[in-house]
Chain A
Amino acid sequence: MSRWTGALFDPRRFAPSRTSSDDTPDQSMERGCQTGSDRSSAFNPWLHRFAIFTAISTLGLIIIGGLVTSHGAGMAVPDWPNTYGYNMFAFPISKWVGGVLYEHSHRLMATFVGLLTAILSLWLWVRETRGKGRWLGVGTIVMVLGLMGVRALPVYLILACLALTVGGFGLYQIRRNFAALRWWGALAFATVILQGVLGGLRVVWLKDQIGIFHAALAQLFFALTCLIALFTSRWGHERATLLVRAAIPVAKGIRAESRAPVQSVFAWLLPAATLLIFAQLILGATMRHQHAGLAIPDFPLAYGKVWPPMDSASVTHYNQQRHEIIAVNPITALQIGLQMTHRIMALLICGAVAFCAWSTRRQVGASHPLSKLTLVWFGVIVTQALLGAATIWSDKAADVATAHVMVGALSLALGAIVSIVASRTLVWARAVPAAEAQALSPFGLQPSPHTGLK
């Protein structure tokens, strides 16, 4: 088991972050931040709703971002952070035309999501900290927001470096204490700052490669907001109680020798399938940000063959045959190879997620929420595969291609949620004494001593 996966499965990671009495020595620097009030340990429905709203808004931002690239409008506004010389917020609506409409809306929506993320991270930070640590965090977030208003490239570059540092430190803190939501919030805020600067740099530095990073980080950021929404939920608060309640009745039927399969499904297969999806999203972003349109115009065959010729003469012929209505770059052999890899990866992902769904159902039973969740995940993956085919059949119609981007983001977020829910379910089951589990279970059943969920 990898260190990271091991960390996910370590019950100590899920210990409540409220008390400071059990702090490890290296947490001493955080003592000022350590929580002490009961307020932070209580489930806050408004925080959860706000986290959900942030996640939904992020999905909206990804959709608009998809529209930007689908319409080839990424460079429709040549300047940044200004818009055609105007302050972004004062740009006249009468000029929101053509590609400007998509690009400018994307910028405004990004600002909105950035603001929501700042509020969310502030909320999480204030909720879990006190004393100097609290004010240090609040001051940092407010200062960064103020500096974003300076609207000068050097300031943005400094903020991006700061975001990288804070993001890295946030990941380190999360690894130490998975349940410290304040660090999840800090990571989200650092990510949204970095993401905003990347988007701006893509415009002013005219680099497609930055666009690929921008698109990939967007997917990660959406998954991150979804996880924060999950952690702030009642389920997250009660640390998997709900799922284990349902798991107990079915777990009793699991064979004694099934400990290893249960662990393999929860510890390896689900995260591996999620990582495969992320790799696929990076591939998709690479194809998309090369602005070459459809490198292969047919499906399921490719230029009428199972594997298309990719020699120079063939590629020249493909370019001669295509009649581009919008400005797209010429097709290259690399782009054809990328799309073929994307197709193969899609097959692998469909198989992997189908196996996840089947395996989870076999391990914990059909009625288990985790089984239902993996089934939904599989449904989303199948939808995504169909949308991929539809993107080609529709000659990359902007709405279809954008839907493909949106469902891709949902696939990754669901994968992350399923992986976390599964790992936390297992951790809970291993960590909670049987008597407590019985008390929690509405069915009055205990975890089977023969199962991996013990």
Chain B
Amino acid sequence: MKKTCALVIAGLASLQAIQAGDISGTVTLKGTPPPEKEIPQIKEDPNCGKLHTEAVKTRFYVVGANNGLGDVFVTLKGITGKSMGPSAPPAVIDQKGCEYQPYILAVQTGQKIVVKNSDPVLHNIHPTPTAPGNKEENKAQMPNGPDLTFSFPSPETFLRVKCDVHPWMFAYLCVVDSPYIAVTDKDGKYTIKNVPDGKYTIEFYHRKAAPASGPTTAEVEVKGGAVTKDIALEAK
């Protein structure tokens, strides 16, 4: 009986140790962002122009319902060495309408990044990392050609990927050494899943409102369940 009780207590203790919860919330934008600029080059391009019926604009401030701010990269500060690396499910970037989808993509170090070309147009994929260890490459991809794969071993926020054939095409990768990452959707909502219990500092990065050199932060504590943390960033 004593043995059984000891086993139950030990089991509960281990359960307690691995308890985890989700951190979720909404990022909103304070203030009025500058108007997005039209990208005339897309319309002027004989191939890419055909893929759009409406004017294409820049995507600096993607503001949705209730001022929710999209494309904000969210991660937990100071967590390293937890990346799942190549075993993580591949992240996907598609080239559609001569634009990268998505504009901001969060990935783990070493995680496979699959680049698709859904366009009937040739592109080149040219990541231009700045962090030591991340390799600059430039690969061609023919219309509807086979997927290309990239991966980056070092953490780097806003690692740019661009197409030199269509210079208006660029997107950013946020590479971190942990799986606790998210990017807000068009309404500013995010969820970081399976965060072990503990106290954390959440970092919010936005290309214009909270750049890599100065992210906005918030403190949060996970105690075996869901935690909500909303935050507002200011338009610059």
Contact = CB atoms under 8 A, between A and B. Distances in A.
A95 B141 CA distance: 12
Interface centre among B58, B124, B208, by most chain A C-beta atoms within 10 angstroms, is B124
A78 B236 contact: no
A74 interface: yes
Contacts of A203: 138
A73 B162 CA distance: 11
B138 A98 contact: no
Interface string B20-59: 0000000000000010110101000111100000000010
Contacts of B138: 75, 78, 203, 206
A317 B210 CA distance: 10
Contacts of B152: none
B236 A320 contact: yes
A312 B39 contact: no
A84 B168 CA distance: 21
Nearest to A326: B167
A316 B212 CA distance: 9
B164 A74 contact: yes
Nearest to B45: A98
Contact of A320 (B46, B47, B160, B208): B208
B166 A84 contact: no
B190 to A, nearest CB: 21
Interface residues of B, number: 38
A321 to B, nearest CB: 7
A1 interface: no
Contact of B126 (A78, A97, A103, A329): A78
A97 B213 contact: no
Contacts of A312: 213
B227 interface: no
A76 B164 contact: yes
Contacts of B142: 84
A77 B160 CA distance: 18
A319 B209 CA distance: 11
Contacts of A76: 124, 164-165
Contact of A325 (B37, B47, B163): B37
B214 A316 contact: yes
A112 to B, nearest CB: 23
A99 interface: yes
A72 B139 CA distance: 16
7 contacts: A79-B140, A97-B47, A99-B167, A320-B209, A325-B41, A326-B41, A327-B162
